[in-house]
Structures are given as structure tokens and as C-alpha cells.
Structure 1
Amino acid sequence: MSASPILITGGAQRLGRHCAERLAEDGHPVIISYRRERPELEVLRSRGIVTLPADFSSEAGILDFIARLKGETSSLRAIVHNASDWAPDSQGDEAGAAFERLFRIHMQAPYIINLHCRELLEACGEPQRDIVHMTDYVVQKGSKKHAAYAATKAGLANLTLSFAAMYAPRIQVNAIAPALIMLGEGDDEAYVEKAKAKSAMGMVPGPGVIYQSLRYLLDNRYVTGITLPVDGGRHLR
């Protein structure tokens, strides 16, 4: 347990929310960013989790978030870049703007936050400080319908290597690359069976496996610059 909080971007729902709640249960102070107000945020606040609104779709929004974050805390134990948008490719005149938005969320926001918040990590009194990028299994193979998403997540994966080299040995920088972890609302049985068949493990594991992976990185002092795949053995298919 650390007195310095752990920041999780995009922590209001799904994997981010699960990790925020588990960290809080383990006694860690937690700060999350969120895109829009939702009922789940009241539950997080009732557990002592600090919630900060953020718009990562513009540089101004990213810088505004950093300023408010620094007003909230003088140090950080870790930064988990979980904010993401699984947006399909756009066509026609909208394609460029759609790509730029994903670039800002998946690459520019982590890049600027890592640079501007290095001082917060170095101010942590703990022997270990971490940055964790949430990338995606799709980085390995691309995507027919989500090319911009895959490309910008691949850029985030590459930033892992750059920042790991830049910040060693004081700050460890790693990534987690999930495949399908949780089902979405409206996923029917046919989709579930198709999803299960893509991995050697043949299952939809739930968010607990991501928290286990995050804990491994947060607890291991001798790991940096790696991407930890959490994909159920998809590369075996």
C-alpha cells in the first residue's frame, strides 16, 4: 500500500472501474479520469476514489486535466493509461477527424501525461513507481474494421519501449495487451461462442485477469519495457 495515489484514466467503467475498485479494496488511494457523468461514479466516490472529468480528444483538454490532477495530488505511485475508444473506422470526409481523435486518446494523452507527470511519480516516497499502458491484442494483426484503433494502440505499445528506456531505472514502464476480456451489453450467444473459439483457452475470463496482470507489474521491481499479453493463447490458433 502506498500513500501516493494510483491514477487510472478511463476508470469509470469496465476494466478501468474493476481495477480502481480492487486497488481501493487493497488500501491504495485511487484517482480516476472519466469522460462523462454516469451513475457508477457515485459508487466509486462512496469508496473514496477521487474522480476527475477529462476530455482527451484535444490537447487543451489533456493539459487541463493535468493541471487539475496536480491540484489534487503532489505525487503518484503509478499511472495506468486505460482510457480508450473502440471506434470503428469512418468513411469519407470524417475519416481524418476520427483518426485524429483516436490518436489523441490512445497516444497523445499518454505521451503528454507521462511527460508532465514524471515529477509526480518521482515525488512518490515508494521504491517503485510505474506507468502501465493498456494496449490491445489487435496490435499484432491489425483490423479490417478498426484500422485507426489498431494503429493508435500500436503507437501506444511503441511508446512503452521509448518511455521505459527514457525513465529507467527510477520509473518502470510496461504494457498490458488484452484480447476479449469482458462481454458487452447486447452480445448474443452466437457472438460469445465465436469469441471463445478465437483463443486456446476457450473462455471469456472477466476483468479479474487484468487486475492480476496489473498487480504483477506494480509488485515486480525488475520488469520494464515489456508488453504482457492477456489473450488466452490467441497466437496458438
Structure 2
Amino acid sequence: MNMKNYALVTGSSDRIGKAVAIHLAKQDYNLVLHYNSSKEKAQKLKDEIESIYGDLKVELLQINFLTENDFDQIFEELKKKKITIEVLVNCASDFIPSNFEDKGSDLFDKEMTINFKNAYLLTKAFARVFGKGNIINFVDTKVSKNSTVHLDYILSKKLLNDFTKISAVELAPNIRVNGIAPGLILPPPGKDESYLLNLAKDIPLKTVGNLEEILKALQFILDSYFFTGQILYIDGGDHLV
């Protein structure tokens, strides 16, 4: 009988979130898979995990991060189902170009809400309802820089980067909080690996990473009880230049 508690992965139906969910299943975690509109992808992932790891329990959780949500209530409802979240992975993200030429605040509000506000609220609710465990936030290698063509996105990730460190202090010793900052791992929608390889010419290691490198960082965080408040840059040295 599987005695592991659950891991909640936001944005779990695609890309890095999906890889994280599958890796956690391999580590024998029961799963709560968050999705917004990608119900078909989330259901397919649930079916895939359950077919391979038959003893695991997988729960789907639909939340629209652009609406107001009571995460304390959502977590309390999970507890009523005997679901205790041990690992929270804030992976849901929205990545849209923007700069100083853009008028208005709609995109700013959207990027802040999806990329920062909900991770912020989920973290606080997790601490209140479950009281112990592990939180892993996905930021971005470019949080270390001040030049960008994704202004609103990077501002939201910079906030999440600092909030990760604040949370690590405030929620210790019962909750460890760390971050992973991917670099050239997956091409954006509509691009292929040649797009990444061209960008890699400007980083120290001159090559691109892959999902396996992200998962190694994830596992290190899970395994290392003496590790908190850190951001692991999986970026070939991109943040250094």
C-alpha cells in the first residue's frame, strides 16, 4: 500500500509541469494535477500515470488562476478527501512578450496574477492548512538580469524569486521553500530546438539543456533536508553573463 502523501503540481498538463508530475509519480507520490482549460491533456496524463503506476492515486484539480480563489477552502476540501499535500510545485506560468511601448495594465495584471499572485496565495494557504512540507517555485534564469523583451513576465518572476527567499525564512523549519530557474530548456510555442541553439551561442556552456536536467534539480531539492531559500539555475551559466 502506498503511504506517500500527495504532491500538487500547478500547470501540470504540459511542458515542464507535465515532466515534473511524471517524475514525482516515479518517486511514488500520489498526485493532484492542476489545470485550467487543458482538461483533455490533464485527463490523458492522469490515465497515463495510473496505467503505469497502478498503486498511485491521481486527482484532477481545475482552477482558473485569473479568477478569485479561496485556496484555504480548496485545500480544506482536499483534506476532507484524506488528501494531504506534502509537496507544492508552483509551475503554472504565462509567457508573453512586452516592453515599455505597451499601454495599459491588462497584460501586467495577467502576468502578475498567473506567475506570482497565485503562487503567493497557494504558499500561504499551504502553510496554514498543511503546516509542513516542501514548496518548489519555478522562476526563470532571466530574473538575474535587467534587460528583457518580456517585461511584465520577468517582473512577475522577479517577485516570485524574492518571495521564495522570504517564504523560506518565514516558514522554516517546518516548510522548505526553494526555486528552480530554467534557461534554454524548451523552445517557446512555434519555435524549434534550432531557435534555442542559436541563443546558446551567447551563454557560457554554448549548449541547451533538457527536461532531465530540471528533474535532477527537483530531486536534489526533495532529497536535501538542509537546503532552503535557494534558486537552482539550470541554465548553462546564462545568469552569469
TM-score (norm 1): 0.87
Partner in structure 1 of residue 22 of structure 2: 21
Q: 1:210 to 1:121 in 2, by over 3 A?
A: farther
CA contact (8 A) 2:183 2:209 kept: no
Partner in structure 1 of residue 55 of structure 2: none
Deviations 1:71-90 (A, max 9, x none): 22442111111111011127
Gaps of 5+ in 1: none
Q: Does 1:83 align with 2:89?
A: no
CA distance in 2, matches of 1:191, 1:145: 16
CA distance in 1, matches of 2:46, 2:206: 36
- Which one of 157, 175, 178 corresponds to residue 179 of structure 2? 175
Question: Mean Cα displacement is larger for which, 5-14 or 187-196?
Answer: 187-196
Partner in structure 2 of residue 33 of structure 1: 34
RMSD over aligned Cα atoms:
2.1
Q: What is the CA distance between 1:105 and its match in structure 2? A: 1.4
Aligned length: 228
Q: What is the CA distance between 1:235 and its match in structure 2? A: 4.1
CA distance in 2, matches of 1:227, 1:162: 12
- Consecutive aligned runs of 4 or more in structure 1 exceeding 6 Å deviation: none
CA contact (8 A) 1:135 1:156 kept: yes
TM-score (norm 2): 0.86
> Per the alignment, in what secondary structure is the counterpart of residue 117 of structure 1?
helix
Q: 1:233 to 1:41 in 2, by over 3 A?
A: same
**Which residues in structure 2 correspond to 1:93-104 (within 5 Å)?**
93=103, 95-104=104-113
Gaps of 5+ in 2: 51-57
Question: Mean Cα displacement is larger for which, 135-144 or 10-19?
Answer: 135-144
Structure 1: which amino acid aligns with 2:122?
A: I
Partner in structure 2 of residue 68 of structure 1: 74
CA contact (8 A) 2:72 2:129 kept: no
Q: What is the CA distance between 1:110 and its match in structure 2? A: 1.3
Q: 1:108 to 1:188 in 2, by over 3 A?
A: closer
